Amino acid sequence: MERTICYQGETIAYQLEWKRVKNVNIRVLPSGLVCVSANRKVASKEVDRIVSSRAEWIVRARTYYAGRAVQQMPVTYQSGEPVCLFGKRYELQVEPSNRERIVPEGNDLRMFVNDPEDFSHNKRLFEAWYRACCEAALTRAVETVFPLFQKYQIPMPQFRIRRMKTRWGSCLPIKRVVTINLYLAQAPVACMEYVVAHELAHLVRADHSAQFYAVLDAVMPDHRERKRLLREQRINCYTE
């Protein structure tokens, strides 16, 4: 059945479906339709209250779907949503299972979960898996790129991963810390290697001078092509 809530003077309609679920689950479909599932033991007014508490996120998700020509990461963690990993696009398939895991299979990314309707849990499961993929890729990229800097005798910095909205990486030469954007795992491995090389070059030259780019030219002659490839990925950094 359809119900409505009011948010900042505007009406938001949602489809409520009664199911045998533990939590009130909210999904925003690419079409903008808001779907809510809840146990019959939960009063309708309580469902309205919970949906109202997530109204800001609902508006953001709708805006995201309306403004993105190409979606590359799941938003509601349901079957059919796209997942981009290392330059390859998969279609998410959410399936019930007592053994929770995520497995790439052909063009599908199969996510086995206890409750396909538990948005919060499935989001945490996916993000933990995705971070692990990024960490593994970063380790391999560092093992490939760092030896290229041997003649510069730079120290091995501490690498860390975090969500970043405007940069693919950053370097603090004094602290010897390199930070890599979590969402870089959406791009081909060559792009991850480029960003690692770019940040390591800052340990040789902390600026973006001609000398800095001379270092990049020496260790990675095709860094400009890799940077162009990264720009072409149209990587999505949307997150709730």
Token representation of residue 177 = 């810390």
**Are the beta carbons of 14 and 51 closer than 8 angstroms?**
yes
| Calpha distance 140→164 (Å, rounded) | 21
Token representation of residue 207 = 């600026």
Instruction: Quote the pTM value.
Output: 0.70
What 3-state class would DSSP assign to 135?
Answer: helix
CB atoms within 10 A of CB 90: 17
Residue-wise pLDDT tens digits, 139-163:
999 999 999 999 999 999 999 999 9
Token representation of residue 22 = 């533990």
Question: Nearest CA to 165 among 144, 138, 184?
Answer: 184
CB atoms within 10 A of CB 154: 17
Q: What is the pLDDT of residue 69?
A: 44
Question: Nearest CA to 146 among 178, 114, 123?
Answer: 178
Identity of the amino acid at 201: A
What is the DSSP code (8-state) at residue 235? -
Residue-wise pLDDT tens digits, 78-134:
898 889 999 999 999 999 999 999 999 999 999 999 999 888 899 999 999 999 999
Residue-wise pLDDT tens digits, 182-207:
999 999 999 999 999 999 999 999 99
| Calpha distance 201→160 (Å, rounded) | 17
**Radius of gyration over every alpha carbon of the chain, rounded to an integer in angstroms:** 22
Please, which contacts does 2-10 make with residues 24 or more away whose CB atoms are closer than 8 Å? 3/44, 3/47, 3/48, 3/51, 5/48, 5/51, 5/52, 5/55, 6/52, 7/52, 7/55, 7/56, 7/58, 7/59, 8/55
Secondary-structure breakdown of the chain: helix, strand, coil percentages, each rounded to the nearest 5 = 40, 25, 35
Token representation of residue 221 = 């002659």
What 3-state class would DSSP assign to 169?
Answer: strand
